[in-house]
Chains A and B, each alone.
Chain A
Amino acid sequence: MKKLAFFVEGYSEVLFVEKLIGEIAEKNNVTIERGYIRGGKTIQKQLTVINGKSASSACEYYVLILNCQGDHQVATRIAEEHRSFSGMGYEKLIGIRDVRPTFQHSDIPRLEATLRKGIDQSLIPAEIILSIMEIESVFLGEATHFERIDPALTVDVIKSKLGFDPASGDMELRTEPAADLANCYAIAGKTYTKQLVQDTIDVLDFDRIYLEQPQRFKSLSQLVSHIDSFLSPSVLRVG
Chain B
Amino acid sequence: MSCIRLISIKYSERLGESKEWVLDNLPLSQVNLLVGKNATGKTRALNIIASLAKLLTSTPRFMINFGSYDVLFDDDGVTLRYKLTVSSGNVTHEEYFIGDKRVLYRGPDGKGEIETHMAGAEPQMVRFSPPQSELAVVIRRDSLQHPYLERLHLWSQATRHFTFGTPLGRDLLAMIIKGGPEADDRDTNQAVGIFRKAQREFGASFVDAVKKDMTQIGYAIDGLEIVAPENIKLVLPANSLENPELSCIGIKEEGLDRVIDQTEISQGMFRALSMLIQVNYSQMAKRANCILIDDIGEGLDFERSTQLINVLRQKASESSFQLIMTTNDRFVMNNVPLNEWLVLQRQGGRIRVRNYENSKTLFDDFKFTGLSNFSLLEMDFLNDHESTEIGV
Contacts and interface: CB of A to CB of B under 8 A. Distances in A.
Interface of A: 39-43, 71-76, 79, 97, 103, 107, 110-111, 113-115, 117-118, 128
Nearest to A71: B370
Interface in B321-335: 329-331, 334
Contact of A118 (B329, B331, B379): B379
A72 B367 CA distance: 10
Given A40-B330, A76-B375, A118 B370 contact: yes
Given A79-B371, A118-B369, 19 more contacts: A39-B302, A40-B302, A41-B305, A42-B302, A43-B301, A72-B334, A74-B370, A75-B369, A75-B371, A75-B375, A76-B372, A107-B368, A110-B368, A115-B368, A115-B369, A115-B370, A117-B369, A118-B379, A128-B370
Contacts of A111: 368, 370
Contacts of A71: 370
B300 interface: yes
B184 interface: no
B171 interface: no
A110 B361 CA distance: 12
21 contacts: A40-B302, A40-B330, A40-B331, A41-B302, A41-B305, A41-B329, A42-B299, A42-B301, A42-B302, A71-B370, A72-B334, A75-B369, A76-B374, A79-B375, A79-B379, A97-B370, A103-B368, A111-B370, A117-B369, A118-B370, A118-B371
A148 B305 CA distance: 45
A48 B294 CA distance: 34
A43 B302 contact: yes
- Range of interface residues on chain B? 10 to 19
B187 interface: no
A72 B371 contact: yes
B365 interface: yes
Given A41-B301, A41-B305, A79-B379, A73 B369 contact: no
B384 to A, nearest CB: 9
Contacts of A110: 368
Interface string B359-392: 0000001001111101100010000010000000
Nearest to A114: B368
Interface string B307-319: 0000000000000
A39 to B, nearest CB: 7
A117 B366 CA distance: 8
Contact of A42 (B300, B369, B372, B374): B300
A73 B301 CA distance: 18
A74 B371 CA distance: 7
Nearest to A39: B302
Contacts of A41: 301-302, 305, 329-331
Nearest to A76: B372
A81 to B, nearest CB: 13
Interface string B290-302: 0000000001111
A107 B331 CA distance: 26
A139 B302 CA distance: 34
Which residue of A42, A75, A115 has the most chain B CB atoms within 10 A of its CB atom? A42
A199 B373 CA distance: 35
A73 B371 CA distance: 7
Contacts of A73: 372
A53 B329 CA distance: 36
A72 B369 CA distance: 9
Contacts of A97: 370
A94 to B, nearest CB: 14
Interface in B274-291: none
A158 to B, nearest CB: 32
Contacts of B385: 117
Contacts of B372: 72-73, 75-76
Nearest to B378: A79
Given A40-B330, A74-B370, A114 B365 contact: yes
A40 B329 CA distance: 10
A83 B184 CA distance: 53
A126 to B, nearest CB: 12
B371 A76 contact: yes
A82 B291 CA distance: 40
A36 to B, nearest CB: 15
A118 B302 contact: no
A176 B302 CA distance: 30
Contacts of B365: 114, 117
A74 B370 CA distance: 8
A66 to B, nearest CB: 16
A134 B154 CA distance: 52
B184 to A, nearest CB: 33
Contacts of A43: 301-302
A72 B370 contact: yes
Contacts of A40: 302, 330-331
B364 to A, nearest CB: 9
Which residue of B302, B330, B368 has the most chain A CB atoms within 10 A of its CB atom? B368
Interface in B196-230: none
A103 B369 CA distance: 12
Which residue of A43, A79, A117 has the most chain B CB atoms within 10 A of its CB atom? A117
Contacts of A115: 368-370
Given A41-B330, A41-B331, A114 B369 contact: yes
Which residue of B330, B370, B372, B379 has the most chain A CB atoms within 10 A of its CB atom? B370
A115 B385 CA distance: 14
